[in-house]
Amino acid sequence: MSHVQRLLSIPILIFMSLVMTQSVGGYIDSSTVYDDLGNRYSSLKEAISGAPPGTTIYVESGVHRGGIVIDKPLSLVGLDQPVLDGGYRGSVIVIENTRDVTINGFRIVRSGRVYSTEDSGIKIINSSRVDITNNVFDDVFFGILVKNSRGVDIKNNMITGIDEYYLSDRMHGIYNWYSYNVTIINNTFRYVKDGVYNDHNYDTVIANNTFRYGRYGVHLMYSDRFVIERNDISGFIAGMALMYSENLTIRYNRIHGNRVGGIGEGLFIPETDNILIEHNWIVGNVVGINIRYTPYTPGKYSIIRFNVIAYNYVGLHVDTDSEAEVYGNDFIENVQEIRYIGYTKSRIKWYSEELRIGNYWSGIQAYDSDGDGLVDVPYTLVDPLYRFIREHRELSAYYLSPVYEVLDIVFKYSYESRLQGLIEDPYPLREPYNIERLYLTVYYENLPYTLVLTLIPGYIVYRGVYRARRKTG
């Protein structure tokens, strides 16, 4: 062999050596998986099969075969985010009939897409004390599926569904079924059907997560004892659908911009008992809060207090079968502050007698002669003076005049409205109560558009009047 041939053969040998370290599918097979006992394995599956219970298995970067089953206590730790590739067949990882399992630091991709076998990034069945942390899920059918399990912690993960699927064909980011003590914190969900779907699930915390683009951000069915707090939810048909459940605390969430195809609700709450909704930022949805037949059981409670409900088409949608205490909220510039459905008197109480506080209504006339922060005139949904003027057309000349403003105060003090389902807030607030206290910001991105759309027509009117006066002068 000539000197030139030897030089040319060196890069070829290097390339072949690299190829030999991988299988034909491109998966890493050698010297990249080892455990805390000093053992090295040719593949991740071999490590899971051979390692004693309680072992920590370290997996170096590269692409590793999915389709693994964990049925004993183990910790899998990814170094430099190795990829577990399911190859579009079945679930990438299955944890079943075991306890004390950790999956930390992996990129989990390409699960199967079969609904009947519930193909998932990670499937957890009949297990306890499972920790799923710092992973990235991409192109997975279900992200994480939890069934008949207890004590599952899901933290700091990013879960992305199948973007190219229609919304109805995607599956959920996390699906909890008949499980207890599931904690879901600091995760990001994108392009899923429901961010977190809970069916007969109990004692669960969902906190500090970000939800974008899907059907429901958080979905509860027949579940009990939930705390849902400090989540950011946008781009869904409903930010939260809390259905047929009980003992729920919903607080400090940002639920905004939920509009899909002209529909969208911040909170949809049918037939739910013992629910507390407080300190939330519910802004820019089609409907802010929609409650139906809530509470469902006599003697249970529903409380909506200290929320910002603003810039929705409908602030709060209620029916005659719902009963709630609604106080301390800021209703700001909703097209309809309240939409009431029914022909009998509402059972909603629009104030707290104990605190002597009602709600802030952006359309209210804010007279506060004694300086106590409450408006002197009770707030009602329907204008009794307007009803009176409609019956006596000769008084319509006063409508929207300064005289009308004076008469309006007199009528609200003097007349008791006989309309069924009327809002009666005896302690309306003079100013918004929650914006600064919740450390929230009113955004002014659209202010330039508002100014342009106001100033240009105003200038046109001004020029028209100016020219008309010059001609007549």
CATH code (residue 114): 2.160.20.10
What was the pLDDT predicted at 412?
A: 59
Q: Do 163 and 279 belong to one domain?
A: no
Q: Do 195 and 305 belong to one domain?
A: no
Long-range pairs, 339-345, Cβ under 8 A, ≥24: 339/287, 339/314, 340/381, 340/421, 340/423, 341/317, 342/420, 342/421, 343/420, 343/421, 344/320, 344/420, 344/421, 345/320, 345/420, 345/421, 345/422
**Is 227 or 455 the better-scoring residue by pLDDT?**
227
Q: Do 246 and 168 belong to one domain?
A: no
Q: How confident is the model at residue 459 (pLDDT cuts 50, 70, 90)?
A: confident
Q: What pTM, to 2 d.p., does this model score?
A: 0.81
Model confidence pLDDT, tens digit, residues 411-423: 655 655 444 446 7
Q: How confident is the model at residue 320 (pLDDT cuts 50, 70, 90)?
A: confident
What was the pLDDT predicted at 379?
A: 76
Q: Do 223 and 248 belong to one domain?
A: no
Q: How confident is the model at residue 273 (pLDDT cuts 50, 70, 90)?
A: very high
Domain annotation covers residue 250: yes
Q: Do 275 and 210 belong to one domain?
A: no
Q: How confident is the model at residue 7 (pLDDT cuts 50, 70, 90)?
A: very low
**Cα torsion 325, 328, 329, 330: sign:** positive
Q: Please say which residue of 163, 198, 229 terminates a domain.
A: 229
What was the pLDDT predicted at 308?
A: 96
Model confidence pLDDT, tens digit, residues 27-36: 654 458 999 9
φ, ψ of residue 408 in degrees (nearest 5): -60, -45
393 pLDDT above the threshold of 90 = no
Mean pLDDT, the chain, integer: 85
Q: Tokens 């909506």: give the residue.
A: 304
What was the pLDDT predicted at 30?
A: 47
Question: What tokens does 122 get?
Answer: 């990670």
Domain annotation covers residue 389: no
Q: Do 174 and 134 belong to one domain?
A: yes
Pairing of strands 273-278, 302-305: parallel
Q: Give the separation between CA 349 and CA 99, rounded to whole angstroms.
A: 48
Q: Give the separation between CA 383 and CA 243, rounded to whole angstroms.
A: 35
Domain annotation covers residue 413: no
Q: Which of 126, 118, 84, 90 is nearest to 103 (CA)?
A: 84
What was the pLDDT predicted at 244?
A: 98
369 pLDDT above the threshold of 50 = yes
Domain annotation covers residue 414: no
Q: Please say which residue of 229, 249, 264 terminates a domain.
A: 229
Domain annotation covers residue 336: yes
Q: Do 64 and 202 belong to one domain?
A: yes
Q: Do 112 and 194 belong to one domain?
A: yes
Average pLDDT over residues 57-80: 96
Domain annotation covers residue 6: no
Lowest mean pLDDT, pick from 15-29, 157-171, 215-229, 233-247: 15-29
Q: Do 323 and 453 belong to one domain?
A: no
Average pLDDT over residues 320-331: 94
Domain annotation covers residue 417: no
Q: Do 225 and 249 belong to one domain?
A: no
62 pLDDT above the threshold of 80 = yes
Q: Do 55 and 195 belong to one domain?
A: yes
Q: How confident is the model at residue 463 (pLDDT cuts 50, 70, 90)?
A: confident
Q: How many domains does the chain have?
A: 3
Of 220-224, 376-380, 408-412, highest mean pLDDT: 220-224
What was the pLDDT predicted at 473?
A: 59
Q: Give the separation between CA 341 and CA 321, rounded to whole angstroms.
A: 9
Q: Give the separation between CA 363 and CA 379, rounded to whole angstroms.
A: 10
Residue environment code for 310-345, b if the CB has 16+ CB neighbours within 10 A, otherwise e: bbbbbbbbbbbbbbbbbbbbbbbebeebbbbeeeee
Model confidence pLDDT, tens digit, residues 139-154: 999 999 999 999 999 9
Q: Do 311 and 197 belong to one domain?
A: no
Average pLDDT over residues 370-394: 68
Q: Which of 72, 74, 62 is nearest to 37 (CA)?
A: 74
Domain annotation covers residue 456: yes
Name the residue range of residue 458's domain.
448-473
Q: Please say which residue of 229, 261, 288 terminates a domain.
A: 229
What was the pLDDT predicted at 151?
A: 98
What was the pLDDT predicted at 260?
A: 85
182 pLDDT above the threshold of 90 = yes
What was the pLDDT predicted at 107?
A: 98
What was the pLDDT predicted at 15?
A: 43
- Say if residues 275 and 303 touch (Cβ distance below 8 Å): yes
Lowest mean pLDDT, pick from 206-220, 322-336, 458-472: 458-472
Q: How confident is the model at residue 289 (pLDDT cuts 50, 70, 90)?
A: very high
What was the pLDDT predicted at 19?
A: 39
